[in-house]
Amino acid sequence: MNYLLHFNGEVPNYAEICMQTIRNIDPDSKIYFITDQDFKSKYSENINSNDISFQYIKELKEIDYFEGEQNPLWDTSLLRIFYLHNASKLLKIDSFVHFDLDVLIFKAFKDLKENFQKNKLNITPLNENFLIFGYSYVDGLKNYSNICSKILEILENVNFYEKKYYNNNKLNEMVLLNIAYIENPDMFNVLNTIPDGTSSILFDGISYGQYLGGIDKKRFSKKSINIAHYAGRSMQSKGFRPKFKSSRPYIKYNNKIYEIANLHIHKKNLIKFIPSK
């Protein structure tokens, strides 16, 4: 399977751990890394984001939705959606896996296929407002092109969408994806994050990684439960907790074991959770 990763700006040290884990867990994978930096890794083939087609990017920069925003993360996170699209066109690949660099995987793609739907953006939900790149699988570039077009449509009428969906607050890429999902549910497949018996495999948006590893920039934050998250609410109401044993994360609930396919390690301490082969 093709893995498309992205980071603009100085590449964090944990990127190498993320990539090495992909190759160890999914040895038949091909990793492409989109970046504007001179980054070298034996695990990936680099694509300079400045060399990618400007399709969608030109319109996005003209809209300049995050003008004046001090934190560049909001802009680069939004651009990432379109860089992924344009890079996949350049590479002539119609499907790929994508997630944030602070994510570790524990299952190869072939062991997860039954959880995905064709011609959809398969992606992890966080709550009613956010779809998040804890794990995503793009199947069908045409469908993904339609999602990119929908996001531009939202940004071109942003005051309407801010009022309708987000209490007049500024949208971010997670909210934009969620609005696209609400208005075009046929373009998406929301992955299962909660042990409800529908699948023996769970995906981590971010809640399980935060519980096991902690929250970024907060000391002593392990075992954190955020009830603003679907999974956090479920942990609190049902009483289950994610476990990490023998280099694998899992949940035991109602006498059933649920394997967790990935962990989104918000604390960035990925080295503590590197899976064995």
CA distance 153 to 256: 44
pLDDT at 277 (0 to 100): 65
CA distance 133 to 142: 20
Domains of the chain: 2-103+138-159+170-190 (3.90.550.20)
Summarize pLDDT for 86-99 with one digit per residue, the tens. 999 999 999 999 99
Determine the distance from the C-alpha atom of residue 94 to the mean position of all C-alpha atoms in its chain, rounded to a whole number. 18
Q: What are the angstrom distances between the C-alpha of 244 and each of 91, 252, 260, 272?
A: 36, 11, 10, 10
Q: Which two tokens stand for residue 76?
A: 């680069």
Q: What residue type is 67 in one-letter code?
A: E
27 contacts: CB under 8 Å, gap ≥ 6: none
Summarize pLDDT for 13-64 with one digit per residue, the tens. 999 999 999 999 999 999 999 999 999 899 999 999 988 988 999 999 999 9
Pairing of strands 103-105, 262-264: antiparallel
242 contacts: CB under 8 Å, gap ≥ 6: 208, 211, 212, 249, 250, 251, 260
Residue position matching structure tokens 């944990």: 14
Summarize pLDDT for 147-170 with one digit per residue, the tens. 999 999 999 999 999 999 999 999
pLDDT at 161 (0 to 100): 97
pLDDT at 263 (0 to 100): 98
With CA atoms as reference, report the closest residue to 273 among 59, 102, 33.
102
Summarize pLDDT for 159-218 with one digit per residue, the tens. 999 999 999 999 999 999 999 999 999 999 999 999 998 899 999 999 999 999 999 777
**Polymer length in residues for the chain:** 277
- Mean of the pLDDT values across residues 78-106? 97
Average pLDDT, the chain: 95
Query: Among the residues of the chain, which ranges form H helices?
Result: 14-25, 57-63, 73-91, 141-156, 158-165, 173-183, 207-213, 230-238
